[in-house]
Amino acid sequence: MKLLRIIFTSFVLFTSNPVHSFVIELNEIQINSLMSVYFPLAFNYEQAEIQLTNANVTVKGENKRLQVTAHFKIQQSADFMIGTVTVDGQVAYDKALHKLQIIEPKLINADITESSFKRNDINDWLQKAFHHSLPIIVLLDFKQLNFRGLALQPVRVEVLTKSVLIEI
């Protein structure tokens, strides 16, 4: 019996590959909590300062995308604009920066509540501002995670129905 146990243990040890991965599934509440570290988010477009605050993520699993709704404030000289925007994008892991982020963000909705801008093309201007100048939205910086000196790097990121699955 002891010999059989030794043979079986040896067989398992020498024929199996070690598995060193684990899976994290983040729901919308957890994603929002992680993302709040990176907001407010500010960027510039045509001498306008644009600031996004109070961001909220919605997982769109059927499209494998995330939507971020945020309050915005735009200041350009004496003109200002305040409202809410919704941006849609894909989730990707940047190996060089070690960040899980929303890439290729596209403005899909803008609700302007106050504005002193005199432009007739304000919706087109907003589309261009968000398309050309919106920085990548960071969800999670793996450099900030400290697991006793281990460098964590996702091997798979998948958008599920109401969550994001990360295999490390």
What domains can be seen in the chain, in order of their start residue? 20-167 (3.15.10.40)
Residue 79 scores a pLDDT above 50:
yes
pLDDT score at 11: 46
User: What's the pTM?
Assistant: 0.80
pLDDT score at 150: 65
Residue 139 scores a pLDDT above 70:
yes
CA dist 108 and 86 (Å) reads: 6
Nearest to 35 by CA among 60, 70, 5, 85: 70
pLDDT-derived band at 4, boundaries 50, 70, 90: very low
Higher pLDDT among residues 106 and 142, named by residue: 106
Which of 11-15, 24-28, 97-101, 151-155 is predicted with the least confidence, judged by mean pLDDT? 11-15
CA dist 88 and 58 (Å) reads: 9
Give every CB contact of residue 44 below 8 A, 6+ residues apart in sequence. Answer: 50, 133
Provide the β-strand partners of residue 10.
none
Strands 48-60 and 156-159: unpaired
The residue whose two tokens read 């919106």 is 134
Nearest to 86 by CA among 45, 123, 132, 55: 55
The per-residue pLDDT for range 64-74, each reduced to its tens digit, is 899 999 999 99
CA dist 128 and 132 (Å) reads: 6
